[in-house]
Amino acid sequence: MSHNPKSTPSMNLDSLNVASATSIDCTQSDSQSQSQSQSQSDTYSETYFDALYSDNSDPWQYQTRWYEKRKREMSLAVLPQAEYDNGIELGCGNGVFSKLLARRCQALLSIDGNTQAVQLAKQRLGKSSHSKVIQGVIPHVLLSLDDALLQAYPLSDGASANKPPFDLIVISEILYYLSPIDIDTVITWIKQNLAVGGTLLCCHWRYAIDGFAMTGETVHQRLHRAFNVTNNEVDRSTVTHPIFTHPAFIHPAFTHQSQIVDSDFLLDVWQHSPKSVAMQENLI
């Protein structure tokens, strides 16, 4: 799982916001963040992460910290399906979590903006023939996945398995490094590329990060707001038209399946389906 700032020496731990996400004024945060939009989008993968990965293959100690192992196991445990056909992981870091996700996916595409991280992830997933790792800055790489895959795997016959739609999208410890505009681009991409019945898992560190305006709190409030709106929106013009009442055209809402509000991180899971796990297994 990728990119949390626990190793940042100057981080102020007193800045933790332990209030609920609904108590945060996201609009105010957005306005404060707009001025940083271009600089964050252009530099986060080239300078911030380059410095962290300089002479260090595991800058957040994913392999040794119990905190990281616990968070990975909690994330895997709340996934509402035992197995997925086609998964994508945004911000894979050095691939420690990717290796675990690969066991739950028939095909997995992992993405990171840092050259060193991508090489490490490729090495870690080397024996997983159904897994691919590409380098690209989010959200821009999402808008040209076909080209990025072709460039990274020009001779692969199975590249189509790693293209949208995805029935699992994992976003971990990455969105607060983006501008609000880029976060909205990712949200729009999710709505367009998560398969019906698919799962979205988002997990972010709750503490402030020096040099970045967004936090896990504001990111997850933004996600809740976006998908709650999706949940409640009804296009009357299409619903009343006979062709759109046919089952093939019904577009299920995003259902908030799980939420973990840990002291240190936030974990939310949505499904592109109205059915809970118990409903899927005919328990209710």
Task: Classify the C-alpha dihedral 247-248-250-254 as positive or negative.
Answer: positive
The mean pLDDT value for 75-100 works out to 97
Task: Classify the C-alpha dihedral 261-176-46-139 as positive or negative.
Answer: positive
Per the CB < 8 A criterion, the answer to whether 198 and 271 are in contact is yes
pLDDT of residue 33: 42
**Domains of the chain: which residue ranges?**
25-232+250-280
| Cβ count near 201 (within 10 Å) | 23
The mean pLDDT value for 181-199 works out to 97
Of the candidates 167, 251, 252, 233, the one whose C-alpha atom is nearest the C-alpha of residue 201 is 167
- Beta strand pairing call for 131-135 and 265-271: unpaired
The mean pLDDT value for 138-153 works out to 94
**What whole-number distance in Å separates Cα of residue 110 and Cα of residue 91?**
7
| Cβ count near 52 (within 10 Å) | 18
CATH class of 25-232+250-280: alpha beta
The mean pLDDT value for 82-103 works out to 96
The model carries a pTM of 0.79
**What Cα–Cα distance (Å) separates residue 62 from each residue in 66, 96, 97?**
8, 7, 9
| Pure H helices in 108-235 | 115-124, 145-152, 180-193, 216-232
**What Cα–Cα distance (Å) separates residue 256 from each residue in 206, 217, 282?**
20, 17, 19
Per the CB < 8 A criterion, the answer to whether 255 and 194 are in contact is no
Residues 6+ apart with CB under 8 A from 177: 3, 40, 44, 48, 209, 212, 214
Over residues 251-268, the pLDDT tens digits come to: 568 999 999 999 999 999
For residue 106, give the H/E element and its range. Answer: strand 105-112
**What whole-number distance in Å separates Cα of residue 180 and Cα of residue 175?**
9
The mean pLDDT value for 80-106 works out to 97
**What whole-number distance in Å separates Cα of residue 72 and Cα of residue 95?**
12
158 band by pLDDT with thresholds 50, 70 and 90 = low
pLDDT of residue 160: 74
The mean pLDDT value for 37-41 works out to 41
